[in-house]
Structure 1
Amino acid sequence: MSLSITDPTHAAAAAAGRAAARQRPVPADQLEVEQRPLETYDRIFGVIDGGLTTGEGVA
């Protein structure tokens, strides 16, 4: 015979997580996403002059 013991706090957190996962996502046309110029990434990865070589300044 197998016995399973569940912490009530864990069970409540799991139930809340399942409920949140069932929520409808925000439509894409209502999301605000920052768009950086591609030059920013070229500089970060050293593809163009002035690029960072040690990773400093990378968020």
Structure 2
Amino acid sequence: MAMFVRTIDIVRAEVEIGMANLAYNLTHLVWQQGRSAPARVEKAPKSACSTADR
């Protein structure tokens, strides 16, 4: 990501870079949470002696 910072004071430049970093991180977090797959639910195995066999 290319960024051109145009400020006079070093403190203002650090704040500007920090805010850009925060915005990027929040955007990345939202993107990752949108991609999360639902948990895999496995069915219980059928028991060897079920009531239908009796």
Q: TM-score, normalised by structure 1?
A: 0.33
Considering Cα pairs closer than 8 Å and 6+ residues apart, tell me whether 1 or 2 has the greater RCO. Answer: 2
Q: TM-score, normalised by structure 2?
A: 0.36
Larger Rg: 2
